[in-house]
A and B are shown apart, each in its own frame.
Chain A
Amino acid sequence: MDITFLLQLIINGLVVGSIYALVATGFVIIYKASSALNLAQGEFLMVGAYICLNLLSKYNLPFWQAILITFAFSAILGILIERLILRPLIGSHLISVIMVTLGLSSILKALVQLAYGTDTIPFPEVFPSAPVQIGPIPVSQGYLYAIGCVTILVTVLTMFFKYSKTGVAMRATASSQQVALTMGISVKKMFAISWAISAIVSAVGGILLGTIRGGIDMSLSFMGLKVLPVVILGGLDSILGAIVGGVIIGVLENLSGGYVDPLVGGGAKEVAPYIALILILMFKPYGLFGKKKIERV
């Protein structure tokens, strides 16, 4: 095996992994704020990508305008879903919340299918595609832009949660809703904001995936499932965990795709993250960075 092949796999892994990290961050934000597992995260990503595509190719908007409108749309979608579907469920069992998001994912998928069909639609080229030579290996510029975008976005999010008043209030809400209430924080508003942020972040993931792959189809929504091993590995309530977990799963997936697939005749790439998930749950059930909590029932 030559080293170029390995590096190539690792770089691919990093790119895909950074997008996993992004979507996982969205997942973690919702879980932290409202302890709801959002199984429709992948659909948020898909909807974002389709909306952006629509704006770009149908209305020929410049890229940045399309992005802004997509963000606004995603935010509204997130808020609406929280308001109309999740809020009435506050206080009900976790299982019902999970089932509702599962149903939601089917509905969103069906709506996108209705509107755009099931064929792969080419995504306009946003970033220049000519590869750049890094050391011995050529790397597509789109990859570099993608990693750049993810880094910027994650940094912005980290700053937001660290320094802004709303961000700190959201963390306080995650820490204890009741005490947050006594501070005059509107917990409902914090939930809504977290859903909006999460939807926006996922939409970015969708747009990046679209540009990298050159086309989008329904398979984008599988990203939502890929995110599960990521957050389980990183710890459900840790943004840092989501990022590290995303990168690890991305690289792991590509490595097993490159080295194990030829031996077993394919499929290892898809299975590897879930094997990892099972192993992690066996040995480190709270993930790498997750908070251990003793629950008294």
Chain B
Amino acid sequence: MLTISNAEVIYNRVILVLKGLSLHVPEGKIVALLGANGAGKSTTLKAISGLLKSEEGEVSAGSIDFMGERINNLDPEDIVRKGIFQVMEGRRVFEDLTIDENLTVGGHTRKDSAGFKRDKELVYDYFPRLRERRNQLSGFLSGGEQQMLAIGRALMARPRLMLLDEPSLGIAPLLVQEIFQLIKKINTEEKTTILLVEQNANIAFSICDYAYIMEGGRVAMSGTTEQMKSNNDVKEFYLGMGEGKEKKSYRELKSYKRRKRWL
């Protein structure tokens, strides 16, 4: 459905952030994109959704194809109309709009008013907490509820591909579980393909079908969830399950650095 090949992204015409990234998101699946801070995960999502433009960035090489169509450097509003919807990092609800209005804005590109109304109810069915407070300002919601609103708002646009940027960020662990179960549910019931960016590899592996690990603007490793979970490096660096039980010495830390450079 979505194929990125050898994409390079440059900010301000100087800073090269993505250095030849390739990845593929098959239809109907959940694909996770993992990696440390500054690996280029969010930049990848912004390259897909066209948001780079508003940040002085551009896709300078390579290609991004969605449903067989080139979408490099299109305007974000056109990309939303093609069916890709990004939920930005840190929730970013419209704080001085009510919950209901936030959902209305999410469905901004919709033309069918009947489907629009039906989907609003659908979102409220997925997130009953939001229905209770539909007329409250969304700025007063808790972090977890704002994340639900952000996902619900995305659902209003009926996207074919949803880009989720760190939905677990700054949210209580129990709520994180709940939100990820709902993401899975949306994936199966609404047939929405999902590209998920996460730092929390554990929780991502609990719902994704396929995972990519990014480092320094490239894909360092990829595989199905099972393959990834059983990989020793992934275990050690991302799941916190090192083989040695005892505390590691500084010398081994150096080897960590060496081993971490997969490419």
| In the complex, chain B residues whose CB is within 8 Å of the CB of A186 | 75, 77
| In the complex, chain B residues whose CB is within 8 Å of the CB of A172 | 94, 97, 101-102, 105
Question: Chain B: how many interface residues by the 8 Å CB criterion?
Answer: 27
Closest CB-CB distance, B74 to chain A, in whole Å?
Answer: 12
| Contact, CB under 8 Å: B54 / A183 | no
Interface hits, B106-120 → A, CB 8 Å? 106, 108-109
A-binding segment of B35-43, B60-68, B79-87: B79-87
A185-B105 contact in complex given A171-B97, A175-B97, C-beta closer than 8 Å: yes
B23 beta carbon closer than 8 Å to chain A: no
| In the complex, chain B residues whose CB is within 8 Å of the CB of A183 | 80, 105-106, 108-109, 153, 157
B104 beta carbon closer than 8 Å to chain A: yes
Closest CB-CB distance, A34 to chain B, in whole Å?
Answer: 14
Closest residue to B50 on the A side, CB-wise? A181
A181-B76 contact in complex given A168-B97, A175-B94, A175-B96, C-beta closer than 8 Å: yes
| Contact, CB under 8 Å: B51 / A182 | yes
Closest CB-CB distance, B72 to chain A, in whole Å?
Answer: 17
| Contact, CB under 8 Å: A171 / B108 | no
A176 beta carbon closer than 8 Å to chain B: yes
| In the complex, chain A residues whose CB is within 8 Å of the CB of B87 | 182
B92 beta carbon closer than 8 Å to chain A: yes
| In the complex, chain A residues whose CB is within 8 Å of the CB of B1 | none
| Contact, CB under 8 Å: B54 / A177 | yes
A183 to B94, CA, bound (A): 11
B residues at A contact (CB < 8 Å): 49-51, 54, 75-77, 80-81, 85-88, 92, 94-97, 101-102, 104-106, 108-109, 153, 157
Query: Would you list the 10 A-B pairs with minimal beta carbon distance, nearest first?
Result: A184-B80, A184-B109, A175-B94, A181-B76, A172-B105, A179-B92, A184-B77, A172-B94, A182-B86, A186-B77
